[in-house]
Amino acid sequence: MIKIEYSPEVAFALAHNKPVVALESTIISHGMPYPKNMQTAYQVEAVVRENGAYPATIAIIDGIPKVGLTETEIKILAKAGKSVTKVSRRDFPVVLAQKSHGATTVAGTMILAEKAGIRIFATGGIGGVHRNGENTLDISADLQELANTSVAVVSAGVKSILDLGLTLEYLETMGVPVWGYETSELPAFFTRESGFRLDCRVDDVNELAQMLKAKWDFGLDGGVLIGNPVPRLYSLNKRDIDAVIQDALVEAQKQGRKGKAITPFLLSKINELTNGKSLDTNIQLVLNNARLAAKLALSLSR
């Protein structure tokens, strides 16, 4: 029997019905360069605490599923970077059996969060249907996890390197609610606007909590995607970032980047092409999502 290990802080919070926010670890290993990734991970945890909840960064360390990491464990993932295996649903058996390190994706984090009884999860942006996905069938496992795993994901929408329209269609088909927090439009990660309208806008955290409770109390399993736009101060110009993304996609195609390798490559290339502006935006949107997720977890716990 493989047991989940909890940090003392998270174990205390869960035992006393305190609000807990799950945090992914792929953003540490694959989302940013060292030491910015480590510093950001510490910052995100601090923001969760400042807003009344307990952070639970999730990963696999030496084959042990961990819900809540120590500062040392975060540093291990940060320094190891892209050599750490990205863990989605299909990857758990190998990483667990080989007793190696694993950084959980949105899907992987949702799985361990649900097993731990954590309902709220803050991330940067979710995966989705890749561009030309109607031909390649390159679709992130995040979407299936949202359909089946009862965790609410607070994100700055869908990563704008993807096909946002097809991603929304897929989520609708799978019955996943997509709600905008203080927005009627799907956030597009680096930008507040995408051009895609949402059916549901919510401007109050307590109302969000009530809606989540109603969904799960009614026996409707599965997650919810809560789109939380990047703060205006850090939102990039849509036309400029769209052009940069197109250039990065062309470069990825030239280099034959596919599957798990494409998203880290594109984010790194975009950071290079924007002279670091996209990384600053990425950090700020993650902190913003952690802030909302903490407030939501606190409201839901009441």
The 10s digit of each residue's pLDDT in 189-210 is 999 999 999 999 999 999 999 9
Q: Among this protein's residues, is 24 annotated catalytic?
A: yes
HSE at residue 59, side-chain half, CA atoms within 13 A, is 30
Q: Among this protein's residues, is 50 annotated catalytic?
A: no
The average pLDDT across 139-149 equals 96
Q: How confident is the model at residue 253 (pLDDT cuts 50, 70, 90)?
A: confident
- In the chain, the number of structural domains is 1
CATH number for 68: 3.40.1790.10
Q: What is the CA radius of gyration of the chain?
A: 18
Q: How confident is the model at residue 145 (pLDDT cuts 50, 70, 90)?
A: very high
Q: What does 120-169 look like in DSSP terms, one character per residue?
A: EEE-S-B--BPTTHHHH--B-HHHHHHHHS--EEEESBB-TTS-HHHHHH
d(CA 90, CA 97): 13
Give residue 162's domain range. Answer: 5-301
The average pLDDT across 147-155 equals 98
Q: Is the peptide bond before 65 cis (omega within 30 degrees of 0)?
A: no
- State the first-to-last Cα distance of the chain, in angstroms, to the nearest integer: 33
What is the reported pLDDT for 260? Answer: 65
Asked whether the predicted pLDDT for residue 266 surpasses 80, the reply is no
Q: Which of 24, 73, 114, 145 is catalytic?
A: 24
CB-CB contact of 100 with 65 (8 Å): no
Q: Give me the count of residues in the chain.
A: 302
Asked whether the predicted pLDDT for residue 273 surpasses 90, the reply is no
Work out the angle at residue 87's Cα, subtended by the Cα atoms of residues 133 and 272, and round it to the nearest 5 degrees: 65
Residue, of 255 and 108, whose pLDDT is higher: 108
Which of 26, 31, 17, 2 is CA-nearest to residue 266?
31
Asked whether the predicted pLDDT for residue 216 surpasses 90, the reply is yes
Q: Which of 66, 75, 159, 295 is catalytic?
A: 159
State pLDDT tens for residues 14-37: 999 999 999 999 999 998 889 999
Q: What percent of the chain has pLDDT over 90?
A: 79
